Amino acid sequence: MSNVEIKKYYAKTLDPVHIGEGGYKLGRVDNTIVRDPATDLPKIPGTSMSGVTREFYTIYLIENDNDCKNKSDDKDKRDCAEKKAKDYFGDDKKQGMVRFYDGEIIFFPVSSIQGTIWITTKDLLKYWFGEISSENGENIKIPDVVEDKAYAIKGIDSNKPLNLGWILLEIGNISNGSVIVLPKDINEWVKRIVIVSDKLFSHIVNDNLEVRTSVRINPETGTADDGALFTYEAIPRGTILGFEVGIDKHKNGCKNIMTDVLPYFKLLGIGGMGTRGFGRIELV
């Protein structure tokens, strides 16, 4: 029997999120974001989640733990908090008690003539919400077979044409399907939902990522350097993400860590470009 309990968490991006890949790809922007090599879909690496969660938990301990916050010196407070955080997150000599897995996009916002629509796939819904009981959300019906159409799940006028960005899709009929439960928090976040095929999902997501242009400023002159214009992409505001966290069942305090750090994600965020208005997420 495993000692690790897997818990699912969901997040809504309050700002665009940029977690850089550290390279350049022909035909894309200068600074691309991390993608899953199998699906080509943007993802949030588990290492990124682990790093910021550890730092946020350290800040939490400095501000709230009696042993740490009562230290007279700021360095002593920091050392105390880092030592306690190491018990849960480990170091180069010891494995941590909390394990973070790559986060993925569950619902992606796309502009449409019917307003903002969140697209998803059948497999994503089954994986992330298939085990949720009905009293914790709203029942929705998903199709058994998905073709290259848009299947209206919530808030869509099926009698009107439906475009998802640049692509115009026929609305499919859900005659045979299964029922899953959409959690209450997510039900409040997303107003219009359609299911598309896995193939279309990847194309639509990558064609509708946010792309921004910036310029590097010379600190000595206060003006832009020649040839310093660059572009970068990001997961747009309003995207719904899913994360899995493995927690040691026998380590006291492990289950409270994510609850303790939730406010910091909303204030401080994750990823790069934080000084340019990027990174904040709301985690539930």
Instruction: Give residue 1's pLDDT.
Output: 45
pTM recorded for the entire structure: 0.89
* pLDDT beneath 50: ranges in the chain: 1, 26
Instruction: Give residue 36's pLDDT.
Output: 93
pLDDT in tens, 222-232: 777 776 777 88
In angstroms, the CA 150 to CA 163 distance is: 9
- Give the number of domains in the chain: 1
Q: Whole domain around residue 167: which residue ranges?
A: 4-283
Instruction: Give residue 202's pLDDT.
Output: 95
Instruction: Give residue 23's pLDDT.
Output: 57
In angstroms, the CA 175 to CA 93 distance is: 56
Q: CB pairs under 8 A, 24+ apart, for 147-151?
A: 147/172, 147/197, 148/196, 148/197, 148/199, 148/200, 149/196, 150/119, 150/194, 150/195, 150/196, 151/194, 151/195, 151/196
| Side chain identity, residue 39 | T
For residues 247 and 97, is the Cβ–Cβ distance under 8 A?
Answer: yes
Instruction: Give residue 40's pLDDT.
Output: 92
For 30, residues 6+ apart whose C-beta sits below 8 A from its C-beta are 24, 230, 231, 232
Instruction: Give residue 28's pLDDT.
Output: 63
Instruction: Give residue 27's pLDDT.
Output: 52
Helices and strands per DSSP (H, E), number in the chain: 7, 16
Instruction: Give residue 5's pLDDT.
Output: 86
For residues 30 and 22, is the Cβ–Cβ distance under 8 A?
Answer: no
DSSP result, 159-222: TS-EEETTEEEPEEP--SEEEEEEEHHHHHH-S-EEE--HHHHHHHHHHS-EEEEEEEEPTTTS
In angstroms, the CA 275 to CA 263 distance is: 19
